[in-house]
């Protein structure tokens, strides 16, 4: 039980409180016991049926549980019958969701009266419209009232009126929708509203209305770029062409939709061609390039075009036209090197990059991605050269990475250069320089949480006394070495169980108007409306962990209400919340680490002596519990096994008629393979996972170094980058699963 003292009583974030759980309570205090609903969500129908039998006959709890079992068994009509007899808010909302999703057919005179509940009015209005009962549906929507829900109801009404000669009514509905909309809801309304204003004419002239909207305080609250994007999507006029070109830096696809209309403007063709190449519209780029008068810009653009359509020899011929031009040779050689590398001609690529010096672009390409590349061409070339040498000549690669950083390398490439420089310094035992390099990674989201551990760890090894933080929400693996856990050794399996209070959690309220609307739409909206609002909310409140947490909960609720336990959306949103600065409460963790396919994992774990929670951690990281997942390399199913490997294992197990897309079969084969890896590497979980990911042959090469380095430093330096990330994710998930659900 090597982890037992680290996996209970750990005060993850006592200061956090959200939803029904007040903080995380150290995770030492047990949750309420699970019931049928919790077992169904965990993929354990047998236990769910057993627990239903323990409930009193005809009790509301039993009737509600019977409804969920009926959904699980694929009988929504029976589920609706159970729910109809309950005076219970979740039951009423679930009935609306079943109707809106089309699982249950509606007849107007049998629609339940909803009284003063605007969520139910909205949901049944949408469902009636979908069934073709327009008058009844519109009447329901009109009764919703004001506020954010009234705004949504008016938006849906306007959409229904669009097919009729009701221009003024539609404009009036959209005006109401706009008036009561939250900032995150307005992107859904603005294009339709402006079109209705234009169509209605009269005193509601479009120009006047645009001017009024731009002056509203509510419009000023999002970045100005959001409003510009919305206007472009609505095909409405912008203030100026310069505004659109400024937008192209941040949102090139949206800007291109507007600027493409300038194709008859000869002076704009070079920039338009570059923008088309940036957004992948090679057909437009080709036509634009054909209209450009011969100039240095033509050679760069033609080279980029030929490279984009997969003709490297022709691309190199275009770049070569500029090799003798001191103004543009640097950029031409930068791109020629990239093209040569795509042909796996590393020496030729190195030759081009070594000759990159200061460069610029023709004036007609100002403001395009080519100018941005030219500004840091030498730094990019040093970065690319370093990448070629980091395994064969790490000392030279370190010098080039340092030069690239000093030369102003930007964005994702800067973060990668700093990280790789830090790893090289650490491999040399230069702990202090490694810490300095980690500090240059910056706040890049792909590296930030790793650097939070490795920078102080390097300082600690250098004798500086710094200690990594105790908590890492995004990558819980890093909590283990800080706590002194022997994370590389597989602990013994222990008992575990789902947690209670799932229904209370799914129907909790956030106390925030926009998020309350999200939770209402989780039950009352169809897929198009919910997905549109969720996307707008995620965009408007980006980098907002609270919004991400409630988006996860809303997705979980939508699936639960129709018996669909696809957990991928909530895992993604909950993981985003945990990667933020204020990750939320315990319930966010339960959504990020669900107990899906519990019974199948237990059966597979028992067959091969593997902890079922470890199998769930693997399934979470391999496929996000998607039994139909197929990787680019051809790995299939929950546990992402290659068909050839699966066939070998099935032959050893005498398993016939297996299906890698079947969760039970996939977990069984995955458990068999992981058990082999654990036996081969004598219970070393780190090496077993390395073998599972990179193959046992590669893992054998890393055994000797494991015995000479601190385990965490070994993980940083020796496995492949992909394998290191894989071990960090799986071990971290396993730790969190045991922490959340383990009995030890």
DSSP-assigned states of every residue in 279-310? TT-HHHHHHHHHTSPSSHHHHHHHHHHHHHTT
Residue 194 has pLDDT above 80, yes or no: no
Q: Is 106 exposed, middle or buried (0-12, 13-18, 19+ CB in 10 A)?
A: buried
The encoded tokens of residue 454 equal 């490795």
Q: What is the mean pLDDT of residues 356-385?
A: 94
E-state strands within 326-453? none
Q: How far apart are CA 171 and CA 157, in angstroms?
A: 11
Q: With contact defined as beta carbons under 8 Å apart, do 573 and 548 qualify?
A: yes
**Nearest C-alpha neighbor of 717 from the set 731, 701, 729:** 701
* Residue 144 structure tokens: 């919703």
Q: How far apart are CA 195 and CA 148, in angstroms?
A: 21
* d(C-alpha 59, C-alpha 379), whole Å: 71
What would the pLDDT profile of 412-445 be if each residue is shown by its tens digit?
Answer: 999 999 999 999 999 999 999 999 999 999 999 9
- CATH 1.10.530.10 applies to domain 598-741: yes
Residue 573: burial class (beta carbons within 10 Å; 0-12, 13-18, 19+): buried
Would you give the end-to-end CA distance of the chain in angstroms? Answer: 8
- Beta-bridged to residue 21, according to DSSP, are 18
d(CA 740, CA 744): 11
Split at pLDDT 50, 70, 90, the class of 722 is very high
A 10 A CB-CB count for 679 gives 12
Segment 63-92, tens digit of pLDDT: 999 999 999 999 999 999 999 999 999 999
Domains in the chain: boundaries: 39-217, 260-375, 379-469, 502-592, 598-741
- What are all long-range contacts of 164-167, with beta carbons under 8 Å and residues at least 24 apart? 167/196, 167/199, 167/200
pLDDT value at residue 254 = 62
Instruction: Give the residue among 419, 455, 408 at the shortest CA–CA distance from 435.
Output: 455
The answer on pLDDT for 354 being more than 80 is: yes
Residues serving a catalytic function are 622
Task: Classify residue 511 by burial, with Cβ atoms within 10 Å: 0-12, 13-18, 19+.
Answer: exposed
Vertex 57: Cα angle to 52 and 58 (nearest 5): 105
341/348 Cα distance (integer angstroms):
8
445-503 per-position pLDDT tens digit:
999 999 999 999 999 999 987 889 888 889 999 999 999 999 999 988 877 778 778 89
Percent of the chain with pLDDT over 70: 85
3-state secondary structure of 742: strand
pLDDT for 288 beyond 50: yes
Integer Cα distance of 659 and 637 in angstroms? 9
How far, in Å, CA of 659 to CA of 316, rounded?
Answer: 48
- Looking at residue 247, its pLDDT comes to 56
What is the C-alpha to C-alpha distance for residues 307 and 283, in angstroms, rounded to an integer? Answer: 13
Query: Do the Cβ atoms of 320 and 363 come closer than 8 Å?
Result: no
Answer yes or no: are the C-beta atoms of 614 and 738 closer than 8 Å: no
**CA dist., res. 581 & res. 590, Å (int):** 18
Tokens at residue 120, please? 């139910």
Mind listing the pLDDT tens digit for each residue in 306-347? 999 999 999 999 999 999 999 999 999 999 999 999 999 999
Write down the mean pLDDT value for the chain: 87
Residue 209: pLDDT band with limits 50, 70, 90: low
CA distances from 406 to 36, 264, 383, 418, 437 (A): 60, 42, 11, 11, 12
Binned at pLDDT 50, 70 and 90, residue 188 comes out as confident
CATH number of 39-217: 1.25.40
Model confidence band, residue 355 (pLDDT cutoffs 50, 70, 90): very high
Q: Where are the alpha helices (DSSP H) in 507-626?
A: 513-524, 527-540, 545-561, 568-578, 586-592, 598-608, 612-623
Predicted local confidence at residue 3, as pLDDT:
43
Residue where the block lists tokens 């049926």: 49
- Cβ 420 vs Cβ 402: under 8 Å: no
The domain 260-375: what is its CATH number? 1.25.40
Q: Residue 428: which of 396, 405, 450 has the closest Cα?
A: 396
The model's pTM is 0.88
- Please give the average per-residue pLDDT across 569-578, as a whole number: 94
Residue 504, pLDDT above cutoff 50? yes
Q: Return the number of other C-beta atoms located less than 10 Å from residue 291's C-beta.
A: 13
**Do the domains 39-217 and 379-469 sit in the same CATH topology, yes or no?**
yes
2-28 pLDDT tens trace: 443 333 333 333 222 233 333 333 333
Q: What is the pLDDT at residue 100?
A: 96
What is the predicted pLDDT for the residue at 520?
97
What is the reported pLDDT for 367? 87
Q: How far apart are CA 486 and CA 466, in angstroms?
A: 21
- Domain covering 379-469 assigned CATH 1.25.40 in the classification: yes
């Amino acid at each position: 039980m090597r982890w037992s003292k680290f996996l209970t009583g750990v005060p993850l974030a006592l200061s956090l409180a959200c939803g029904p759980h007040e903080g995380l309570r150290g995770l030492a205090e047990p949750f309420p016991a699970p019931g049928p609903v919790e077992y169904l969500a965990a993929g354990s129908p047998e236990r769910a049926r057993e627990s239903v039998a323990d409930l009193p006959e005809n009790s509301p709890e039993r009737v509600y549980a019977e409804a969920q079992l009926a959904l699980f068994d694929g009988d929504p009509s029976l589920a609706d019958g159970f729910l109809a007899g309950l005076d219970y808010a979740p039951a009423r909302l679930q009935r609306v969701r079943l109707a809106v999703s089309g699982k249950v057919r509606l007849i107007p005179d049998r629609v339940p009266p909803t009284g003063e509940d605007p969520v139910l009015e909205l949901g049944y209005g949408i469902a009636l419209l979908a069934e073709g009962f327009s008058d009844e549906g519109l009447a329901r929507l009109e009764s919703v009232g004001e506020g954010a829900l009234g705004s949504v109801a008016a938006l849906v009404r306007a959409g229904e009126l669009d097919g009729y000669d009701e221009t003024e009514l539609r404009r009036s509905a959209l005006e109401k929708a706009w008036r009561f909309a939250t900032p995150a809801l307005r992107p859904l309304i603005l294009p339709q509203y402006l079109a209705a204003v234009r169509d209605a004419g009269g005193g509601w002239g479009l120009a006047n209305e645009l001017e009024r909207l731009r002056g509203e305080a509510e419009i000023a609250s999002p970045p100005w770029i959001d409003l510009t994007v919305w206007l472009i999507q609505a095909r409405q006029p912008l203030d100026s062409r310069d505004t659109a070109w400024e937008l192209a830096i941040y949102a090139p696809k949206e800007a291109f939709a507007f600027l493409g209309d300038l194709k008859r403007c000869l002076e704009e063709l070079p920039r338009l061609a570059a923008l088309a190449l940036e957004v992948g519209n090679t057909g437009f780029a080709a036509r634009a390039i054909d209209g450009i008068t011969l100039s240095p810009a033509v050679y760069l653009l033609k080279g980029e075009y030929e490279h984009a359509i997969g003709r490297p020899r022709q691309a190199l011929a275009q770049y070569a036209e500029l090799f003798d031009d001191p103004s543009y040779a640097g950029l031409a050689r930068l791109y020629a090197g990239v093209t040569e590398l795509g042909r796996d001609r590393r020496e030729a690529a190195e030759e081009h990059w070594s000759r990159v010096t200061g460069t610029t672009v023709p004036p007609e390409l100002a403001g395009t991605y080519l100018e941005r590349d030219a500004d840091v061409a030498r730094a990019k070339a040093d970065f690319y050269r370093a990448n070629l040498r980091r395994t064969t000549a790490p000392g030279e690669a370190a010098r080039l990475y340092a030069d690239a950083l000093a030369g102003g390398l930007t964005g994702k490439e800067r973060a990668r250069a700093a990280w790789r420089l830090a790893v090289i310094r650490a491999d040399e035992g230069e702990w202090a320089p490694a810490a300095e390099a980690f500090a240059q990674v910056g706040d890049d989201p792909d590296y930030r949480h790793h650097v939070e551990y490795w920078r102080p760890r390097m300082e600690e090894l250098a004798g500086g006394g710094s200690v990594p933080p105790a908590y890492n929400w995004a990558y819980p693996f890093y909590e283990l070495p800080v706590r002194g856990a022997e994370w590389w050794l597989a602990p013994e399996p222990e008992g575990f169980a789902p947690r209670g209070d799932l229904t209370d959690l799914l129907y909790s309220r956030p106390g925030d108007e926009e998020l309350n609307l999200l939770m209402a739409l989780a039950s009352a909206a169809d897929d198009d409306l919910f997905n549109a609002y969720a996307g707008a909310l995620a965009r408007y409140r980006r980098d907002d962990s609270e919004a991400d947490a409630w988006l996860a909960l809303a997705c979980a609720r939508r699936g639960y209400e129709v018996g669909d336990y696809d957990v991928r959306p909530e895992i993604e949103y909950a993981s985003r919340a945990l990667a933020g600065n204020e990750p939320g409460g315990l319930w966010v963790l339960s959504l990020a680490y669900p107990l899906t396919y519990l019974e199948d994992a237990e059966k597979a774990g028992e067959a091969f002596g593997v902890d079922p929670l470890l199998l769930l951690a693997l399934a979470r990281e391999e496929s996000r519990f998607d039994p139909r997942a197929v990787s680019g390399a051809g790995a299939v199913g929950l546990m992402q096994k290659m068909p050839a490997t699966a066939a070998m294992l099935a032959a050893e197990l005498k398993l016939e008629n297996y299906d890698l897309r079947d969760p039970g079969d996939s977990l069984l084969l995955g458990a068999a393979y992981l058990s082999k890896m654990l036996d081969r590497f004598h219970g070393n979980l780190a090496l077993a996972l390395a073998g599972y990911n990179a193959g046992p042959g590669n893992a054998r090469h890393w055994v000797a170094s494991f015995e000479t380095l601190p385990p965490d430093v070994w993980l940083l330096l020796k496995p492949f980058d992909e394998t290191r990330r894989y071990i960090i994710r799986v071990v971290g998930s396993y730790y969190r699963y045991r922490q959340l659900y383990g009995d030890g």
